[in-house]
Chain A
Amino acid sequence: MNRREVLRSASVLLAAGSAAPATAARPREIDLSKFRIIDCHSHCSVDGSYALSADEMVESLDLYGIDQVCCSAPITSGPSPPETVTARNDLILAAMRKYPERIMGQCFLDPSHGAHAQDEITRCVVDNGMIGVKLYHQRKITDPAQFPIIERCIDLGVPILVHAGYPAAPELREQQPNIATGEHFAEIAGRYPEAMFICAHIGGGGDWERQLKGLREAPTVYVDTSGSVADSGIVDRTVRELGAERVLFACDTSMIRGLGKIIDSNLDDGELRLVLSENFLGILARRKI
Protein backbone atom coordinates (compact mmCIF):
# COMPACT_ATOMS: atom_id res chain seq x y z
CA MET A 1 0.00 0.00 0.00
CA ASN A 2 1.53 3.32 -1.01
CA ARG A 3 1.23 6.51 0.99
CA ARG A 4 -1.77 7.85 -0.90
CA GLU A 5 -3.55 4.56 -0.45
CA VAL A 6 -2.79 4.75 3.25
CA LEU A 7 -4.26 8.25 3.33
CA ARG A 8 -7.34 7.14 1.42
CA SER A 9 -7.71 4.27 3.83
CA ALA A 10 -7.42 6.67 6.76
CA SER A 11 -10.07 8.83 5.16
CA VAL A 12 -12.46 5.91 4.90
CA LEU A 13 -11.87 5.15 8.55
CA LEU A 14 -12.54 8.76 9.47
CA ALA A 15 -15.74 8.75 7.50
CA ALA A 16 -16.84 5.51 9.06
CA GLY A 17 -15.88 6.89 12.42
CA SER A 18 -13.99 3.87 13.65
CA ALA A 19 -10.88 1.85 13.02
CA ALA A 20 -12.94 -1.17 13.99
CA PRO A 21 -16.33 -1.88 12.48
CA ALA A 22 -18.08 -1.98 15.84
CA THR A 23 -19.78 1.38 16.25
CA ALA A 24 -19.94 4.60 14.40
CA ALA A 25 -19.13 8.17 15.11
CA ARG A 26 -20.87 10.19 12.43
CA PRO A 27 -18.83 11.62 9.54
CA ARG A 28 -16.48 14.43 10.29
CA GLU A 29 -16.98 17.80 8.59
CA ILE A 30 -13.30 18.10 7.70
CA ASP A 31 -11.77 15.41 5.51
CA LEU A 32 -8.05 15.97 5.80
CA SER A 33 -7.15 13.20 3.40
CA LYS A 34 -7.52 15.54 0.43
CA PHE A 35 -4.75 17.78 1.71
CA ARG A 36 -1.02 17.39 1.62
CA ILE A 37 0.10 17.55 5.24
CA ILE A 38 3.56 18.50 6.45
CA ASP A 39 4.35 18.52 10.16
CA CYS A 40 7.00 21.23 10.47
CA HIS A 41 7.99 20.58 14.08
CA SER A 42 8.64 17.21 15.65
CA HIS A 43 11.29 15.01 17.17
CA CYS A 44 12.66 11.55 16.57
CA SER A 45 15.89 9.62 16.31
CA VAL A 46 16.96 6.81 14.10
CA ASP A 47 17.16 4.34 16.99
CA GLY A 48 14.59 5.61 19.47
CA SER A 49 17.24 6.91 21.85
CA TYR A 50 15.57 10.31 21.57
CA ALA A 51 11.77 10.64 21.34
CA LEU A 52 10.15 8.30 18.82
CA SER A 53 12.31 6.06 16.68
CA ALA A 54 12.29 6.78 12.97
CA ASP A 55 10.27 3.60 12.44
CA GLU A 56 7.69 4.67 15.02
CA MET A 57 7.57 8.15 13.52
CA VAL A 58 6.80 6.82 10.08
CA GLU A 59 4.25 4.39 11.54
CA SER A 60 2.59 7.42 13.15
CA LEU A 61 2.70 9.42 9.94
CA ASP A 62 0.98 6.58 8.09
CA LEU A 63 -1.57 6.12 10.84
CA TYR A 64 -2.54 9.79 10.94
CA GLY A 65 -2.23 10.55 7.24
CA ILE A 66 0.70 12.97 7.51
CA ASP A 67 2.92 13.10 4.44
CA GLN A 68 6.17 14.43 5.83
CA VAL A 69 7.68 15.59 9.09
CA CYS A 70 10.54 17.83 10.15
CA CYS A 71 12.51 16.48 13.09
CA SER A 72 15.24 17.66 15.39
CA ALA A 73 16.80 16.32 18.57
CA PRO A 74 17.51 19.33 20.80
CA ILE A 75 19.10 19.19 24.21
CA THR A 76 16.32 20.45 26.45
CA SER A 77 18.11 20.57 29.80
CA GLY A 78 21.60 20.51 31.19
CA PRO A 79 24.83 21.37 29.37
CA SER A 80 25.11 21.07 25.63
CA PRO A 81 28.77 20.41 24.77
CA PRO A 82 29.54 20.47 21.04
CA GLU A 83 30.12 16.73 20.81
CA THR A 84 26.65 16.07 22.24
CA VAL A 85 25.09 18.55 19.82
CA THR A 86 26.85 16.77 16.96
CA ALA A 87 25.65 13.38 18.21
CA ARG A 88 22.07 14.63 18.39
CA ASN A 89 22.22 15.93 14.83
CA ASP A 90 23.69 12.60 13.75
CA LEU A 91 20.54 10.89 15.05
CA ILE A 92 18.48 13.07 12.73
CA LEU A 93 20.77 12.63 9.73
CA ALA A 94 20.48 8.88 10.11
CA ALA A 95 16.68 9.11 10.35
CA MET A 96 16.64 11.22 7.19
CA ARG A 97 18.76 8.63 5.39
CA LYS A 98 16.44 5.84 6.48
CA TYR A 99 13.27 7.63 5.36
CA PRO A 100 14.32 10.30 2.87
CA GLU A 101 10.81 10.75 1.49
CA ARG A 102 9.19 11.21 4.89
CA ILE A 103 11.62 12.74 7.39
CA MET A 104 13.25 16.15 6.96
CA GLY A 105 15.85 17.36 9.39
CA GLN A 106 16.32 20.50 11.44
CA CYS A 107 19.80 21.18 12.77
CA PHE A 108 19.92 21.79 16.51
CA LEU A 109 22.46 24.40 17.57
CA ASP A 110 23.71 25.92 20.81
CA PRO A 111 24.76 29.49 20.06
CA SER A 112 27.11 29.38 23.03
CA HIS A 113 29.46 27.39 20.81
CA GLY A 114 29.64 29.83 17.92
CA ALA A 115 32.27 28.20 15.70
CA HIS A 116 30.81 24.74 16.23
CA ALA A 117 27.35 26.06 15.39
CA GLN A 118 28.63 27.37 12.08
CA ASP A 119 30.37 24.06 11.36
CA GLU A 120 27.15 22.18 12.12
CA ILE A 121 25.20 24.39 9.75
CA THR A 122 27.71 23.59 7.03
CA ARG A 123 27.70 19.86 7.81
CA CYS A 124 23.97 19.36 8.36
CA VAL A 125 22.24 22.03 6.26
CA VAL A 126 24.62 22.75 3.40
CA ASP A 127 26.20 19.34 2.91
CA ASN A 128 23.53 16.92 4.13
CA GLY A 129 20.23 18.50 3.28
CA MET A 130 18.66 19.50 6.57
CA ILE A 131 15.97 22.06 5.82
CA GLY A 132 16.68 24.52 8.60
CA VAL A 133 17.82 25.22 12.13
CA LYS A 134 16.29 24.48 15.53
CA LEU A 135 17.13 26.68 18.52
CA TYR A 136 16.14 25.73 22.04
CA HIS A 137 16.42 27.89 25.15
CA GLN A 138 20.17 27.77 25.73
CA ARG A 139 20.14 31.52 24.98
CA LYS A 140 17.40 34.07 24.39
CA ILE A 141 16.61 34.49 20.73
CA THR A 142 17.54 38.16 21.14
CA ASP A 143 21.01 37.31 22.53
CA PRO A 144 23.81 38.63 20.27
CA ALA A 145 25.31 35.13 20.30
CA GLN A 146 22.38 34.15 18.07
CA PHE A 147 23.11 36.81 15.46
CA PRO A 148 25.77 34.88 13.44
CA ILE A 149 23.40 31.90 13.24
CA ILE A 150 20.50 34.06 12.14
CA GLU A 151 22.65 35.83 9.55
CA ARG A 152 23.89 32.51 8.17
CA CYS A 153 20.31 31.24 7.88
CA ILE A 154 19.35 34.41 6.02
CA ASP A 155 22.25 33.85 3.63
CA LEU A 156 21.20 30.24 3.06
CA GLY A 157 17.49 31.00 2.86
CA VAL A 158 16.50 28.48 5.54
CA PRO A 159 14.03 28.80 8.45
CA ILE A 160 14.84 28.99 12.15
CA LEU A 161 12.45 27.09 14.43
CA VAL A 162 12.62 28.61 17.92
CA HIS A 163 11.42 26.96 21.14
CA ALA A 164 8.82 29.40 22.45
CA GLY A 165 6.03 30.08 24.88
CA TYR A 166 4.88 32.26 27.74
CA PRO A 167 4.70 30.17 30.91
CA ALA A 168 1.97 31.83 32.91
CA ALA A 169 3.24 31.08 36.40
CA PRO A 170 6.38 32.87 37.63
CA GLU A 171 7.92 29.61 38.85
CA LEU A 172 7.51 28.11 35.39
CA ARG A 173 9.09 31.18 33.78
CA GLU A 174 12.06 30.76 36.12
CA GLN A 175 12.55 27.21 34.83
CA GLN A 176 12.89 28.48 31.26
CA PRO A 177 14.23 32.03 31.56
CA ASN A 178 15.38 32.11 27.92
CA ILE A 179 12.26 30.75 26.28
CA ALA A 180 11.18 32.95 23.38
CA THR A 181 8.08 35.06 23.96
CA GLY A 182 6.09 36.96 21.39
CA GLU A 183 7.81 40.14 22.53
CA HIS A 184 11.21 38.58 21.86
CA PHE A 185 10.11 37.70 18.34
CA ALA A 186 8.96 41.24 17.75
CA GLU A 187 12.40 42.48 18.78
CA ILE A 188 14.49 40.01 16.79
CA ALA A 189 12.26 40.16 13.71
CA GLY A 190 12.59 43.92 13.82
CA ARG A 191 16.36 43.50 13.65
CA TYR A 192 16.20 40.75 10.99
CA PRO A 193 12.99 41.19 8.97
CA GLU A 194 14.37 38.99 6.18
CA ALA A 195 14.87 35.99 8.50
CA MET A 196 12.31 33.17 8.49
CA PHE A 197 11.60 32.63 12.17
CA ILE A 198 9.07 30.03 13.23
CA CYS A 199 7.64 30.48 16.72
CA ALA A 200 7.29 26.94 17.99
CA HIS A 201 4.15 25.37 19.40
CA ILE A 202 1.43 27.92 20.08
CA GLY A 203 -0.08 25.04 22.09
CA GLY A 204 3.14 24.18 23.84
CA GLY A 205 1.84 24.99 27.29
CA GLY A 206 1.62 28.55 28.49
CA ASP A 207 -0.43 31.64 27.90
CA TRP A 208 -0.93 31.28 24.16
CA GLU A 209 -3.26 34.28 24.03
CA ARG A 210 -0.48 36.51 25.31
CA GLN A 211 1.92 34.90 22.84
CA LEU A 212 -0.41 35.89 20.01
CA LYS A 213 -0.39 39.50 21.23
CA GLY A 214 3.39 39.57 20.88
CA LEU A 215 3.39 37.83 17.51
CA ARG A 216 0.99 40.44 16.13
CA GLU A 217 3.90 42.84 16.49
CA ALA A 218 6.25 40.50 14.57
CA PRO A 219 4.62 40.31 11.12
CA THR A 220 7.40 38.34 9.44
CA VAL A 221 7.34 35.53 12.00
CA TYR A 222 5.49 32.26 11.41
CA VAL A 223 3.93 30.23 14.20
CA ASP A 224 3.36 26.50 14.34
CA THR A 225 0.21 24.92 15.75
CA SER A 226 1.88 22.13 17.71
CA GLY A 227 1.85 21.29 21.38
CA SER A 228 -0.23 19.22 23.73
CA VAL A 229 -2.59 22.11 24.52
CA ALA A 230 -5.75 21.74 22.45
CA ASP A 231 -7.81 24.52 24.00
CA SER A 232 -11.00 25.02 22.05
CA GLY A 233 -10.61 27.69 19.40
CA ILE A 234 -6.81 27.87 19.55
CA VAL A 235 -6.28 27.43 15.80
CA ASP A 236 -9.14 29.75 14.84
CA ARG A 237 -7.82 32.46 17.18
CA THR A 238 -4.29 32.06 15.84
CA VAL A 239 -5.44 32.43 12.25
CA ARG A 240 -7.71 35.33 13.16
CA GLU A 241 -4.92 37.22 14.91
CA LEU A 242 -2.05 36.48 12.53
CA GLY A 243 -3.62 35.43 9.22
CA ALA A 244 -3.53 31.95 7.71
CA GLU A 245 -0.40 32.83 5.73
CA ARG A 246 1.66 32.85 8.93
CA VAL A 247 0.43 29.62 10.47
CA LEU A 248 2.13 26.24 9.98
CA PHE A 249 0.76 22.85 10.92
CA ALA A 250 2.81 20.85 13.40
CA CYS A 251 2.40 18.26 16.13
CA ASP A 252 5.64 18.25 18.13
CA THR A 253 4.93 14.48 18.44
CA SER A 254 1.37 15.06 19.79
CA MET A 255 -0.23 13.84 16.59
CA ILE A 256 -3.68 13.32 18.05
CA ARG A 257 -4.00 16.74 19.60
CA GLY A 258 -2.19 18.29 16.64
CA LEU A 259 -4.69 16.96 14.13
CA GLY A 260 -7.58 17.31 16.56
CA LYS A 261 -7.02 21.05 16.76
CA ILE A 262 -7.20 21.29 12.99
CA ILE A 263 -10.31 19.12 12.74
CA ASP A 264 -11.95 21.25 15.42
CA SER A 265 -11.16 24.50 13.63
CA ASN A 266 -13.42 26.42 11.31
CA LEU A 267 -10.78 27.06 8.65
CA ASP A 268 -11.97 26.89 5.06
CA ASP A 269 -10.25 24.72 2.45
CA GLY A 270 -8.03 27.55 1.26
CA GLU A 271 -6.84 28.28 4.77
CA LEU A 272 -6.34 24.60 5.46
CA ARG A 273 -4.19 24.21 2.36
CA LEU A 274 -2.00 27.09 3.49
CA VAL A 275 -1.66 25.87 7.05
CA LEU A 276 -1.25 22.17 6.32
CA SER A 277 1.52 22.50 3.76
CA GLU A 278 1.60 25.42 1.35
CA ASN A 279 3.03 27.99 3.74
CA PHE A 280 5.82 25.63 4.67
CA LEU A 281 6.47 24.67 1.07
CA GLY A 282 6.82 28.40 0.38
CA ILE A 283 9.47 28.57 3.09
CA LEU A 284 11.34 25.61 1.62
CA ALA A 285 11.22 27.25 -1.81
CA ARG A 286 13.26 30.17 -0.50
CA ARG A 287 16.27 27.93 0.10
CA LYS A 288 19.29 29.33 -1.76
CA ILE A 289 21.55 26.27 -1.70
Chain B
Amino acid sequence: MIYDADAWIGHWPFRSLPRKNAPELVQIMDRHGIDKALVGNLNALLYKDAHEANHELIRDIAPHRDRIVPCAVINPAYFGWQRDLRQCREQFGMPVVRILPDYHGYTLADACAAELVALATELGMAIALFWRIVDPRGRHPLDPGREADPAEIARFIRQFPDARFLLLNFRNVLPGPVDGAPQRLYDIPLFVGHNGLRPAREFKKHPPTTFAFGTTAPLRSPAAAILALEKARLDPPTLEAIQHENLTRLIRE
Protein backbone atom coordinates (compact mmCIF):
# COMPACT_ATOMS: atom_id res chain seq x y z
CA MET B 1 0.00 0.00 0.00
CA ILE B 2 1.20 3.51 -0.81
CA TYR B 3 -0.22 6.43 1.14
CA ASP B 4 0.62 9.93 -0.14
CA ALA B 5 1.05 12.51 2.63
CA ASP B 6 1.21 15.52 0.36
CA ALA B 7 -1.38 15.95 -2.39
CA TRP B 8 -3.80 18.67 -3.42
CA ILE B 9 -6.77 19.44 -5.55
CA GLY B 10 -7.87 22.89 -6.62
CA HIS B 11 -6.59 25.77 -8.65
CA TRP B 12 -2.95 26.86 -8.47
CA PRO B 13 -3.27 30.47 -9.57
CA PHE B 14 0.26 30.87 -10.88
CA ARG B 15 0.56 28.08 -13.44
CA SER B 16 -1.82 25.98 -15.49
CA LEU B 17 -1.85 22.46 -14.06
CA PRO B 18 -2.64 19.56 -16.38
CA ARG B 19 -4.87 17.96 -13.74
CA LYS B 20 -6.40 19.57 -10.70
CA ASN B 21 -9.79 18.23 -9.61
CA ALA B 22 -10.58 15.19 -7.50
CA PRO B 23 -11.31 12.72 -10.34
CA GLU B 24 -8.10 13.81 -12.05
CA LEU B 25 -6.12 13.34 -8.86
CA VAL B 26 -7.51 9.83 -8.57
CA GLN B 27 -6.37 9.24 -12.17
CA ILE B 28 -2.88 10.34 -11.19
CA MET B 29 -2.95 8.04 -8.17
CA ASP B 30 -4.10 5.11 -10.30
CA ARG B 31 -1.43 5.71 -12.88
CA HIS B 32 1.30 5.68 -10.27
CA GLY B 33 -0.05 2.98 -8.01
CA ILE B 34 -0.90 5.25 -5.09
CA ASP B 35 -3.67 3.77 -3.00
CA LYS B 36 -4.59 6.64 -0.73
CA ALA B 37 -3.72 10.33 -0.27
CA LEU B 38 -4.00 13.13 2.22
CA VAL B 39 -5.41 15.97 0.15
CA GLY B 40 -5.86 19.67 0.75
CA ASN B 41 -7.52 22.32 -1.41
CA LEU B 42 -5.14 24.81 -3.04
CA ASN B 43 -7.97 27.31 -3.28
CA ALA B 44 -7.56 27.86 0.46
CA LEU B 45 -4.19 29.51 -0.02
CA LEU B 46 -5.63 32.73 -1.41
CA TYR B 47 -9.28 32.78 -0.38
CA LYS B 48 -9.97 35.46 2.22
CA ASP B 49 -11.99 32.86 4.08
CA ALA B 50 -9.84 29.77 3.68
CA HIS B 51 -12.46 27.58 5.31
CA GLU B 52 -14.72 27.89 2.26
CA ALA B 53 -12.12 25.79 0.46
CA ASN B 54 -12.54 23.08 3.10
CA HIS B 55 -16.27 22.98 2.32
CA GLU B 56 -15.43 22.72 -1.39
CA LEU B 57 -12.98 19.93 -0.71
CA ILE B 58 -15.53 17.85 1.16
CA ARG B 59 -18.05 18.28 -1.67
CA ASP B 60 -15.54 17.52 -4.41
CA ILE B 61 -14.01 14.38 -2.91
CA ALA B 62 -17.30 12.83 -1.76
CA PRO B 63 -17.25 10.11 -4.46
CA HIS B 64 -13.64 9.27 -3.60
CA ARG B 65 -13.62 9.10 0.19
CA ASP B 66 -12.20 5.58 0.06
CA ARG B 67 -9.04 6.95 -1.60
CA ILE B 68 -8.85 10.59 -0.54
CA VAL B 69 -8.48 11.68 3.07
CA PRO B 70 -9.31 15.38 3.34
CA CYS B 71 -6.95 17.81 5.07
CA ALA B 72 -8.03 21.11 6.50
CA VAL B 73 -6.32 24.35 5.57
CA ILE B 74 -6.94 26.88 8.32
CA ASN B 75 -5.91 30.51 8.63
CA PRO B 76 -5.52 31.18 12.36
CA ALA B 77 -5.22 34.89 11.71
CA TYR B 78 -8.81 35.00 10.46
CA PHE B 79 -11.58 35.53 12.95
CA GLY B 80 -13.60 32.46 13.80
CA TRP B 81 -10.98 29.89 12.82
CA GLN B 82 -11.51 27.86 15.99
CA ARG B 83 -15.08 26.99 15.05
CA ASP B 84 -13.91 26.19 11.53
CA LEU B 85 -11.20 23.86 12.79
CA ARG B 86 -13.65 22.04 15.02
CA GLN B 87 -15.98 21.59 12.09
CA CYS B 88 -13.11 20.20 10.00
CA ARG B 89 -12.37 17.60 12.63
CA GLU B 90 -15.75 16.77 14.11
CA GLN B 91 -18.03 17.09 11.08
CA PHE B 92 -15.71 16.61 8.10
CA GLY B 93 -13.43 13.98 9.68
CA MET B 94 -10.19 15.70 8.71
CA PRO B 95 -7.18 14.24 10.56
CA VAL B 96 -4.64 16.87 9.52
CA VAL B 97 -4.57 20.66 9.37
CA ARG B 98 -2.16 22.31 6.96
CA ILE B 99 -0.95 25.77 7.85
CA LEU B 100 0.62 28.18 5.38
CA PRO B 101 1.68 31.38 7.15
CA ASP B 102 3.08 33.13 4.05
CA TYR B 103 -0.23 32.81 2.24
CA HIS B 104 -2.32 33.93 5.18
CA GLY B 105 -0.29 36.84 6.48
CA TYR B 106 1.12 35.67 9.81
CA THR B 107 4.28 33.99 11.09
CA LEU B 108 4.99 31.01 13.29
CA ALA B 109 6.09 33.48 15.96
CA ASP B 110 2.58 34.92 16.17
CA ALA B 111 0.40 33.74 19.03
CA CYS B 112 -2.28 32.48 16.66
CA ALA B 113 0.05 29.81 15.30
CA ALA B 114 0.66 28.37 18.73
CA GLU B 115 -3.05 28.56 19.53
CA LEU B 116 -3.83 26.58 16.41
CA VAL B 117 -1.35 23.84 17.30
CA ALA B 118 -2.83 23.61 20.78
CA LEU B 119 -6.41 23.29 19.56
CA ALA B 120 -5.50 20.90 16.76
CA THR B 121 -3.70 18.69 19.25
CA GLU B 122 -6.67 18.79 21.58
CA LEU B 123 -8.84 17.69 18.67
CA GLY B 124 -6.50 14.83 17.80
CA MET B 125 -5.26 16.38 14.57
CA ALA B 126 -1.75 16.42 13.16
CA ILE B 127 -0.33 19.73 11.96
CA ALA B 128 1.32 19.94 8.54
CA LEU B 129 4.05 22.53 7.95
CA PHE B 130 5.71 23.21 4.61
CA TRP B 131 9.24 24.30 3.85
CA ARG B 132 7.92 25.58 0.55
CA ILE B 133 5.09 24.96 -1.86
CA VAL B 134 6.94 25.58 -5.14
CA ASP B 135 10.53 26.23 -6.19
CA PRO B 136 11.15 29.97 -5.65
CA ARG B 137 13.41 30.18 -8.68
CA GLY B 138 10.33 29.99 -10.87
CA ARG B 139 7.98 31.80 -8.52
CA HIS B 140 5.28 34.13 -9.88
CA PRO B 141 5.94 37.69 -8.68
CA LEU B 142 2.57 37.80 -6.89
CA ASP B 143 3.06 34.46 -5.12
CA PRO B 144 3.63 35.28 -1.43
CA GLY B 145 5.15 31.88 -0.66
CA ARG B 146 8.76 31.70 0.45
CA GLU B 147 11.08 29.01 1.70
CA ALA B 148 10.61 28.77 5.45
CA ASP B 149 13.51 29.16 7.86
CA PRO B 150 14.33 25.62 9.06
CA ALA B 151 15.67 26.95 12.35
CA GLU B 152 12.42 28.82 12.99
CA ILE B 153 10.41 25.69 12.24
CA ALA B 154 12.61 23.60 14.52
CA ARG B 155 12.15 26.12 17.33
CA PHE B 156 8.41 26.18 16.73
CA ILE B 157 7.78 22.47 16.84
CA ARG B 158 9.97 21.98 19.91
CA GLN B 159 7.43 24.07 21.83
CA PHE B 160 4.85 21.33 21.39
CA PRO B 161 6.21 17.98 22.55
CA ASP B 162 2.75 16.42 22.49
CA ALA B 163 1.79 17.63 19.04
CA ARG B 164 2.15 15.52 15.89
CA PHE B 165 3.70 17.24 12.91
CA LEU B 166 3.90 16.39 9.24
CA LEU B 167 6.84 18.23 7.70
CA LEU B 168 6.14 18.48 4.00
CA ASN B 169 8.33 19.34 1.06
CA PHE B 170 11.49 19.81 3.12
CA ARG B 171 14.94 19.62 1.57
CA ASN B 172 16.64 18.23 4.67
CA VAL B 173 15.79 16.60 7.94
CA LEU B 174 15.98 19.28 10.61
CA PRO B 175 18.84 18.90 13.07
CA GLY B 176 18.29 18.11 16.70
CA PRO B 177 15.77 16.11 18.65
CA VAL B 178 13.09 16.17 15.95
CA ASP B 179 15.13 13.73 13.87
CA GLY B 180 13.42 10.37 13.99
CA ALA B 181 10.95 11.30 16.68
CA PRO B 182 7.86 9.28 15.75
CA GLN B 183 5.52 12.24 16.10
CA ARG B 184 7.45 14.23 13.44
CA LEU B 185 7.29 12.82 9.96
CA TYR B 186 8.90 14.11 6.76
CA ASP B 187 7.63 13.41 3.29
CA ILE B 188 10.18 12.81 0.57
CA PRO B 189 9.60 14.90 -2.54
CA LEU B 190 12.56 17.23 -2.10
CA PHE B 191 14.92 14.45 -1.08
CA VAL B 192 14.65 13.06 -4.57
CA GLY B 193 15.87 16.21 -6.31
CA HIS B 194 19.54 15.44 -6.13
CA ASN B 195 21.70 12.70 -7.52
CA GLY B 196 20.20 9.28 -7.94
CA LEU B 197 22.09 7.75 -5.04
CA ARG B 198 20.98 10.29 -2.43
CA PRO B 199 17.56 8.92 -1.41
CA ALA B 200 19.05 5.57 -0.41
CA ARG B 201 21.71 7.37 1.62
CA GLU B 202 19.13 9.62 3.31
CA PHE B 203 16.87 6.71 4.13
CA LYS B 204 19.79 4.86 5.70
CA LYS B 205 21.08 7.92 7.58
CA HIS B 206 17.87 8.44 9.58
CA PRO B 207 15.64 6.07 11.54
CA PRO B 208 12.94 4.34 9.48
CA THR B 209 10.33 6.29 11.42
CA THR B 210 11.58 9.58 9.90
CA PHE B 211 9.89 9.51 6.51
CA ALA B 212 6.52 9.25 4.82
CA PHE B 213 5.78 8.94 1.15
CA GLY B 214 4.72 12.24 -0.46
CA THR B 215 4.37 13.62 -3.96
CA THR B 216 3.02 17.23 -3.98
CA ALA B 217 0.76 16.07 -6.83
CA PRO B 218 -0.63 17.60 -8.95
CA LEU B 219 1.93 20.40 -8.67
CA ARG B 220 4.69 17.94 -9.43
CA SER B 221 4.99 14.57 -11.06
CA PRO B 222 4.55 11.73 -8.54
CA ALA B 223 6.74 9.46 -10.64
CA ALA B 224 9.95 10.73 -9.06
CA ALA B 225 8.86 9.87 -5.52
CA ILE B 226 7.78 6.40 -6.63
CA LEU B 227 11.06 5.86 -8.43
CA ALA B 228 13.06 7.05 -5.41
CA LEU B 229 11.52 4.39 -3.22
CA GLU B 230 11.89 1.70 -5.85
CA LYS B 231 15.55 2.41 -6.38
CA ALA B 232 16.55 2.91 -2.76
CA ARG B 233 16.78 -0.86 -2.26
CA LEU B 234 15.22 -0.68 1.17
CA ASP B 235 14.58 -3.72 3.29
CA PRO B 236 10.88 -4.67 3.31
CA PRO B 237 10.08 -3.35 6.82
CA THR B 238 11.60 0.05 6.06
CA LEU B 239 9.82 0.23 2.73
CA GLU B 240 6.50 -0.57 4.37
CA ALA B 241 7.17 2.03 7.04
CA ILE B 242 7.81 4.79 4.51
CA GLN B 243 5.10 3.77 2.05
CA HIS B 244 2.30 3.89 4.58
CA GLU B 245 2.89 2.64 8.12
CA ASN B 246 4.54 5.76 9.53
CA LEU B 247 1.79 7.99 8.19
CA THR B 248 -0.97 5.67 9.30
CA ARG B 249 0.55 5.68 12.76
CA LEU B 250 0.87 9.47 12.90
CA ILE B 251 -2.63 10.47 11.94
CA ARG B 252 -5.94 9.54 13.50
CA GLU B 253 -8.50 9.21 10.77
Most buried by B among A17, A168, A172: A168
Q: Which B residues are in CB contact (< 8 Å) with A20?
A: 233-236, 239
Are B139 and A231 in touch, CB under 8 angstroms?
no
Residues of A within 8 A of B120 (CB): none
The reply to whether B197 and A56 form a contact with Cβ atoms under 8 Å apart is yes
Q: Does B240 contact A (CB under 8 A)?
A: yes
Question: Main secondary structure on chain A at its contact with chain B?
Answer: loop
State A192–B194 Cα separation when bound (angstroms): 34
A22 an interface residue at 8 Å Cβ cutoff? yes
**A231 and B224 form a contact (CB under 8 A):** no
**Residues of chain B lying within 8 A (CB to CB) of residue A27:** 33
Interface size range on A against B: 35 or more
Selecting from A71-79, A89-97, A254-262, the interface stretch reads: A254-262
Interface assignment of B59: CB less than 8 Å from any CB of chain A: no
Residues on A with beta carbons closer than 8 Å to the beta carbon of B134? 231
Binds A, one of B71-79, B124-132, B214-222: B214-222
Known: A25-B226, A206-B138, A231-B219. A19 touches B194 (CB 8 A): no
Interface residue? A218 (CB, 8 A): no
Chain A residues near B2 (CB, 8 Å)? Answer: 23, 25
Please report the C-alpha to C-alpha distance between residue A155 and residue B18 in the assembled complex, in whole angstroms.
42
| B17 contact set on A, CB distance < 8 A | 232-233
User: For residues 43 through 99 of chain B, which have their beta carbon under 8 Å from a beta carbon of chain A?
Assistant: none
The CA of A17 and the CA of B34, in the complex, are separated in Å by 11
Give the distance in Å from the alpha carbon of A233 to the alpha carbon of B220 in the complex: 8
Closest B residue, CB atoms, query A165: B137
Question: Do A60 and B239 have beta carbons less than 8 Å apart?
Answer: no
Q: Which residues of A contact B230 (CB under 8 A)?
A: 13-14, 17-19, 25
Please report the C-alpha to C-alpha distance between residue A160 and residue B86 in the assembled complex, in whole angstroms.
59
Give Cα A199 to B138, complex, Å: 17
Query: Given contacts A205-B138, A259-B227, A260-B223, is CB(A26)–CB(B33) below 8 Å?
Result: yes
Cβ of B222: which chain A residues have Cβ within 8 Å of it?
260, 264
Whether A21 sits at the interface, judged by CB under 8 Å, is yes
> Can you name the residue of chain B whose Cβ is closest to the Cβ of A259?
B227
Report yes or no: B219 in contact with A257, Cβ–Cβ below 8 A.
no
> Which chain A residue lies CB-closest to B32?
A25
Min CB gap B27→A, angstroms: 11
B234 contacts A261, C-beta separation under 8 Å: no
Tell me, rounded to whole Å, the shortest Cβ–Cβ distance linking A47 to chain B: 16
Residue B177 interfacial (CB < 8 Å)? no
Chain A residues whose CB sits within 8 angstroms of the CB of B239 once the complex forms:
18, 20, 22-23
Say yes or no: is B11 at the interface (Cβ < 8 Å to chain A): no
Add 15 more A-B contacts to A56-B195, A231-B134, A231-B219 (CB < 8 A). A14-B230, A19-B233, A20-B233, A21-B236, A60-B197, A168-B139, A168-B141, A208-B138, A232-B17, A232-B18, A253-B196, A254-B196, A255-B196, A256-B199, A260-B221
**7 cross-chain pairs, A with B, having the tightest CB-CB distances, nearest first:** A260-B224, A22-B236, A255-B196, A25-B33, A264-B221, A205-B137, A260-B223
